[in-house]
């Protein structure tokens, strides 16, 4: 499987766990990365190399977004070159994972997932297609876009029907039913769950396979969800009991999933007991589920739902202090993962919470957010009609409650406090704007100063290099010609060691003069451009310094402007000087790639490495300050991956418009 799927059809994304076991796992993952990199150095460009690159891309998601993208790009390029479709699909998928897991950017991730699906279709990789359909379906569910989630599930269902794959037919039917339910279409959801129940009855000898047990239990779980929504709590509990028993049938080697799904079902039984009015028992079930989550066993989507449900139960039981803490923690998680349904529920529960506390302004604000988000979920082409939702704690109802209280003094106090709060917020906002404006102006001035200094330095370098070449170089050349003429006129000087040594010193001075002139301002850079200058630089280093430097450049058919070429050249020169002076490396690689919108610079060596945090704090000794300043001026990003004894990878991205 390409990813884990929870009992409720939610994607279990990497990095959700915060337990000690997870931290140990991260340490082991770093060791695994090192082992894979060493293994990759000793193999050719074949399918094994692609698999290792994809594995590195997946592992680096936990540490370095740029490194993950680098290896997935390498895997994609090599897969295309050697015609390896499985590796190509996996490489595209890893790019989507990096966007979704690290950047929380599901829109970009979905684009990559769609590319992976097209590649899998083209190469008839049906096994990978089923996993890809589930992944992109879950991304749409996270966004609250149920119509597109259903479109994907229906596409997978039709493909499964053509193959007569009843196991996948059951899976997709369950996803479609869940999507109907989340749009409030209970009758359609029940119809799909009944179809799933029929398919499950025809599985025969395969019914007890772990994957099928999970999906069948999901069907029963879904029945419980729908019946609870319809107010039939007895039917809901009956089906949840069936789901509970199915999950308990899982094999012993599925211990984690067994506990995970049993906990999920207990949570739902708590929700049903809440509907039935049995609040203490409902809270008991939900707390059992939260205890299971404390060890990092739940994904963030579910953890948010559990905390929100616990908070609302505590509110109903009158335990407002604890209720507020649980509700705000659930809201924080929901907003961090941008989960539309969880955010909607958080705003709704908080509006009820503040209403109970008679804080009607806060209740009204949260209810307004709830109504807007609920409308946005419904209006994402899920239904053609939209219910008109009035703000429960809007101005009219607030006036009604105040009239009911019949206490004018409370109105004046509340209004006065609200006015003070508003004035305070406006004052703070104005101060913040002024501070931000000042900081922006300061940053702009610093950038302009750096630009002026850099430009002046480069112009002075160019002038000095030209003067050295034109004046001093000409003088040395003329001196050598005169001495050679003198040697021809006086043959006895051919035996004079001092005279011959003088000619040799002139040759050495001319050579050293050329090197100094080149170091100050390479003629290749100004005449031919960045790529030839860097090739010349790496060739010289490989020839004279005992360090083998590989240089790779892509998409640089058209030259950059002179200032950008100079800046990038100085950055790479500084990094290579660091390798030569400090790394003790035998091999180094420079990769320069122009992408749409940005330029990527990667410098990697097999040297002794260093403590990144310590070097960052000191900003001295290895040229980090100069490199960081140039990158910052170009509005780029700098990422360093190194540790003592592990070598160094430096990745720089610079917007190509700068």
DSSP letter for each residue of 300-339: HHHHHHHHHHHHHHHHHTT-HHHHHHHHHHHHHHHHHHT-
Integer Cα distance of 575 and 29 in angstroms? 28
Longest dimension (CA), the chain: 125
Helix (H) or strand (E) holding 552: strand 548-554
**Residue pair 373/344 in contact by the 8 Å Cβ criterion:** yes
CA-based nearest residue to 626, from 405, 433, 457: 457
Sequence-ordered list of residues with C-beta below 8 angstroms from that of 158, at least 6 positions apart, any chain = none
Query: For the chain, what is the mean pLDDT?
Result: 77
Give the model's confidence band at 3: pLDDT under 50 very low, under 70 low, under 90 confident, else very high: very low
**What pLDDT was estimated at residue 327?**
92
Tokens 């301002």 correspond to 521
- How many whole angstroms separate alpha carbon 186 and alpha carbon 236? 13
d(CA 178, CA 380): 17
Q: In what order do the strands lie in the sheet with 587-595?
A: 548-554, 587-595, 598-605, 648-655, 637-642
Structure tokens at 77: 């390029």
CB 19 within 8 A of CB 311: no
Q: Which residue has the tokens 């501070």?
A: 435
Residue among 507, 506, 536, 539 nearest 522 (CA): 536
Those residues with Cβ within 8 angstroms of residue 91's Cβ, 6 or more apart along the chain or in another chain: 50, 53, 54, 57, 72, 73, 75, 76, 79
Burial of 390 (0-12, 13-18, 19+ CB in 10 A): exposed
Q: Yes or no: say if 504 and 470 are a contact pair by the CB < 8 Å rule.
A: no
Judge whether 75 and 91 are in contact, CB under 8 Å: yes
Determine the Cα–Cα distance for residues 295 and 23; give it in Å rounded to an integer.
12
Confidence of residue 252 (pLDDT cuts 50, 70, 90): low
Residue written as token pair 């790496």: 538
Strand, helix or coil for residue 621? coil
Instruction: Choose the weakest-confidence range: 67-76, 114-123, 273-282, 443-452.
Output: 443-452
**478: Cα separation from own chain's centroid:** 63
Which of 272-276, 344-348, 429-433, 480-484 comes out lowest in average pLDDT? 480-484
The closest alpha carbon to 307, from 336, 340, 349, belongs to 349
DSSP reduced 3-state for 551 = strand
pLDDT at residue number 247: 78
Q: What's the pLDDT band for 187 if we cut at 50, 70, 90? A: very high
Mean pLDDT of 468-479: 59
pLDDT digits (tens, 9 = 90+) for 391-405: 333 333 444 454 566
- Per the CB < 8 A criterion, the answer to whether 367 and 392 are in contact is yes
Distance of alpha carbon 472 from alpha carbon 271, whole angstroms:
88
Residue 603: CB atoms within 10 A of its CB come to 24
Whether residue 72 has pLDDT greater than 60: yes
Check residue 471 and give its pLDDT: 55
Give the count of alpha carbons within 13 A of 99, CB side only. Answer: 18
pLDDT tens profile 550-607: 888 887 778 888 778 888 888 888 888 888 888 888 888 898 888 888 889 999 888 8
What pLDDT was estimated at residue 472? 61
CA 281 to chain centre: 40
DSSP 5: E
What does the radius of gyration of the chain's CA atoms come to, in whole angstroms?
33
Give the burial class of 106: count Cβ atoms within 10 A of its Cβ; 0-12 exposed, 13-18 middle, 19 or more buried.
buried
Measured CA to CA, the distance from residue 230 to residue 444 in angstroms comes to 60
Cα–Cα–Cα angle for 467, 470, 472, rounded to 5 degrees: 80
Q: Which residues pair with 552 in a beta bridge?
A: 591
pLDDT at 94 over 80: yes
User: Which residue has better confidence, 540 or 180?
Assistant: 180
Determine contact, residues 57/72, Cβ cutoff 8 Å: yes
Residues 113, 2: Cα–Cα separation, whole Å: 12
Q: Nearest to residue 654, comparing CAs of 542, 532, 548, 530?
A: 530
How far is residue 160's CA from residue 113's CA, in Å, rounded to a whole number? 19
Residue 182 CA, chain-centre distance (Å), reads 27
Report the range of poorest mean pLDDT among 63-77, 354-368, 439-453: 439-453
Q: How far apart are CA 290 and CA 306, in angstroms?
A: 7
Q: Which two tokens stand for residue 518?
A: 């080149």
Model confidence over 403-443: pLDDT tens digits? 566 677 777 787 778 888 888 788 777 778 777 776 666 65
What are the CB-based long-range contacts (under 8 Å, 24+) for 329-335? 330/303, 330/304, 330/305, 330/306, 331/304, 333/300, 333/303, 333/304, 333/307, 334/304, 334/308
Q: How would residue 658 be classed by pLDDT, with cut points 50, 70 and 90?
A: low
Q: What is the pLDDT of residue 364?
A: 92
**Percent of the chain topping pLDDT 70:** 73
CA dist list (Å): 246 to 207, 211, 302: 11, 11, 20
> pLDDT of 299-323, one tens digit each?
788 888 889 988 999 999 999 999 8
Local structure of 182: helix, strand or coil: helix
Highest mean pLDDT of the ranges 209-218, 220-229, 431-440: 220-229
Half-sphere exposure of 204 (CA within 13 A, CB side): 2
């Amino acid at each position: 499987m390409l990813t884990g799927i929870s009992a409720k059809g939610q994607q279990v994304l990497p990095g959700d766990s915060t337990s000690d076991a997870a931290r140990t796992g991260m340490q082991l993952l770093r060791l695994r990365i090192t082992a894979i990199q060493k293994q990759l150095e000793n193999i050719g460009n074949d399918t094994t190399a692609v698999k290792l690159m994809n594995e590195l891309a997946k592992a680096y998601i936990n540490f370095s977004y740029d490194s993950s993208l680098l290896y997935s790009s390498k895997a994609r390029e090599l897969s295309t070159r050697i015609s390896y479709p499985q590796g190509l699909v996996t490489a595209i998928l890893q790019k989507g994972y990096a966007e979704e897991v690290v950047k929380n950017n599901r829109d970009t991730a979905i684009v990559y997932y769609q590319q992976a699906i097209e590649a899998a279709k083209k190469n008839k990789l049906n096994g990978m297609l089923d996993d890809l359909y589930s992944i992109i379906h879950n991304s749409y569910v996270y966004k609250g876009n149920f119509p597109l989630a259903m479109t994907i599930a229906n596409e997978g269902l039709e493909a499964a029907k053509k193959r007569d794959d009843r196991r996948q037919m059951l899976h997709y039917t369950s996803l479609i039913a869940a999507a109907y339910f989340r749009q409030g279409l209970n009758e359609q959801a029940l119809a799909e769950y009944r179809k799933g129940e029929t398919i499950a009855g025809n599985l025969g000898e395969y019914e007890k396979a772990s994957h099928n047990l999970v999906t069948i239990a999901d069907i029963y779980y879904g029945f419980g969800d729908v019946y609870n929504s319809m107010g039939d709590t007895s039917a809901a509990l009956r089906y949840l009991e069936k789901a509970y028993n199915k999950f308990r049938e899982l094999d012993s080697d599925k211990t984690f999933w067994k506990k995970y799904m049993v906990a999920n079902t207990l949570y739902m039984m708590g929700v049903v007991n809440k509907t039935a009015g049995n609040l203490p028992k409902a809270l008991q079930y939900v707390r059992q589920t939260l205890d299971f989550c404390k060890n990092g066993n739940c994904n963030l989507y579910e953890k948010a739902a559990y905390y929100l449900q616990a908070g609302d139960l505590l509110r109903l039981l009158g335990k407002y202090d604890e209720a507020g803490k649980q509700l705000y923690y659930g809201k924080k998680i929901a907003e961090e993962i941008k989960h539309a349904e969880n955010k909607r529920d958080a705003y709704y529960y908080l509006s009820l919470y503040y209403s109970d506390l008679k804080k009607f302004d806060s209740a009204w604000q949260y209810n307004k957010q709830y109504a807007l988000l609920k409308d946005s979920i419904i209006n994402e082409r899920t239904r053609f009609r939209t219910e008109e939702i009035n703000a429960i704690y809007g101005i009219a109802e607030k006036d009604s409650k105040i009239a009911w209280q019949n206490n004018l003094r409370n109105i004046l106090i509340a209004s006065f406090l609200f006015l003070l709060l508003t004035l305070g917020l406006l004052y703070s906002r104005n101060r913040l704007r002024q501070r931000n404006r000042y900081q922006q102006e300061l940053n702009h001035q610093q950038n302009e100063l750096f630009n002026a200094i850099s430009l002046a330095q480069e112009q002075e370098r160019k002038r000095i290099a030209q003067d050295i070449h034109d004046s001093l170089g000409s003088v040395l050349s003329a001196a050598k010609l005169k001495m050679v003429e003198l040697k021809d006129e006086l043959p006895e000087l051919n035996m004079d060691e001092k005279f011959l040594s003088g000619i040799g010193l002139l040759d050495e001075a001319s050579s050293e003069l050329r090197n100094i002139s080149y170091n100050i301002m390479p003629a290749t850079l100004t005449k031919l451009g960045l790529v030839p200058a860097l090739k010349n630089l790496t060739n010289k280093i490989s020839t004279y310094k005992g360090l083998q430097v590989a240089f790779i450049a892509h998409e640089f058919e058209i030259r950059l402007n002179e200032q950008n070429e100079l800046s990038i050249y100085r950055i790479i020169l500084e990094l290579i000087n660091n390798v030569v002076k400090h790394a003790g490396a035998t091999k180094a690689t420079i990769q320069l790639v122009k992408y749409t919108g940005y330029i990527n610079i990667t410098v990697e060596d097999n040297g002794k490495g260093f403590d990144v945090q310590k070097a960052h704090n000191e900003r001295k000794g290895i040229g980090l300050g100069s490199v960081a300043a140039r990158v910052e001026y170009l509005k780029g990003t700098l990422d360093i991956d190194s540790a003592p004894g592990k070598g160094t990878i430096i990745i720089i991205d610079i917007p190509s418009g700068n």
